[in-house]
Amino acid sequence: MRRTNDPRKKDFEPSSIELGPISFYLGRHFGFCYGVENAIEISYKALEENPEKRVFLLSQMIHNPLVNEDLVKRGIRFIMDTDGKQFIDWSELKPDDIVIIPAFGTTLEIEKILQDIGIEIQHYNTTCPFVQKVWNRSYKLGEEKFTILIHGKHNHEETRATFSHSSKAAPALILRDITEARLLSEFISGNRKAAEFYEVFKDRYSEGFSVEKDLLRVGVVNQTTMLATETSEIAEFMKSVMVEKYGEENLKGHFADTRDTLCYATNDNQQSTYSLLETDADLAIVVGGYNSSNTSHLVELCEKKFPTYFINSADEIGSKNEIKHYDYPAREFRKTKNFLPSKKPVKIILTSGASCPDTVVDEVMLKLVSFFHDGKDPRELVEYVLKDL
């Protein structure tokens, strides 16, 4: 209904579903984005079209264990893990093997390895169009002689891929957050010695990077799953640094406006979450893969106001009195007793990351409703709503 009545997402207010003793607030936008849906469809298509061939994925298709487990059951094999550790040596691959490039894309170095083996890499290339957009913007920055600052996690597949493509076009540097952007500004202003740069940003700058030459003109792009507000903050900060050093009248010669590289789906998910923070919920449940970057950011936002539980499926909810969840900052699992308050109705924020199937969110909702003997079945609500459509 929201998609039909508000296709351009002018209203980010959450939807409220009241089911007797338990109520849910659902974000205006959550779950699969276009890039993820496209990647999954192409993966299943590759299996259907090549029943007699070996089908490989470079790494996890998306950061969701349920989707990846289903692909493995159907015969797909992973070449490496999300950190780049090889499960299958390149020498084991053959020219007629099918290799699927995941939604995050891959590095130019890996593309060359596959091409040298003789494997066709474009037919089942599922790189997200918004990741491609970042790469295209990076190439444009390189043509204009700007150094590329990448807001991202340096060990994330997408950032590794973007760094590889960016480095071909221009000098490139990865910044994790605004703190690192402030550190970088000290080198731009000359308040820190250039020699210190190579230790502070070890393994995050392109080959041959020169502090003296490559920080005169900069532009910011991002790992598309990072918080859009953080990318904007870093870009605005770097802009102010260049204004302070070179003057407003010379800004265009030293800073490139790259706001158009932000992913709409990540931004919509995050804007929807900000609206969820305005509700009077008792707690938040965020569903998604534990290694999903965009999901972890939704968790960070919810934790600012509510007790928040990060789970990957309904199986993590053992009973009304216990939930197993992932503590993202501590990188460890926890069990929390009596996570549901005794008041009625219990009001729960329920949302998910871009790599989480809607069916998993459905299962979480049904599991929670089942703990209340007088809870209404959400499927009855759906039937009631459909009568009015």
Question: Which residue numbers are catalytic?
Answer: 158
CA nearest neighbour of 313 among 271, 363, 354: 363
Would you call 129 helix, strand, or coil by DSSP? Answer: helix
Tokens of 302: 């919810």
Collapsed DSSP state (helix, strand, coil) of residue 373: coil
Question: Contact 78/59 with Cβ under 8 angstroms?
Answer: yes
Q: Where are the alpha helices (DSSP H) in the chain?
A: 2-5, 34-49, 65-73, 108-117, 129-143, 157-169, 178-189, 194-200, 211-214, 228-246, 264-276, 293-303, 358-369, 378-387
C-alpha 344: how far from its chain's center? 35
* Omega cis (within 30) before 51: no
Share in percent of the chain as helix, strand, coil (round to 5): 45, 20, 40
What CA–CA distance (Å, rounded) separates 259 from 131? 14
- Compute, in degrees rounded to 10, the torsion defined by CA atoms 34, 39, 40, 41: 80
* CA-angle at 324, arms to 320 and 326, nearest 5°: 140
| Backbone φ and ψ of 136, nearest 5° | -60, -40
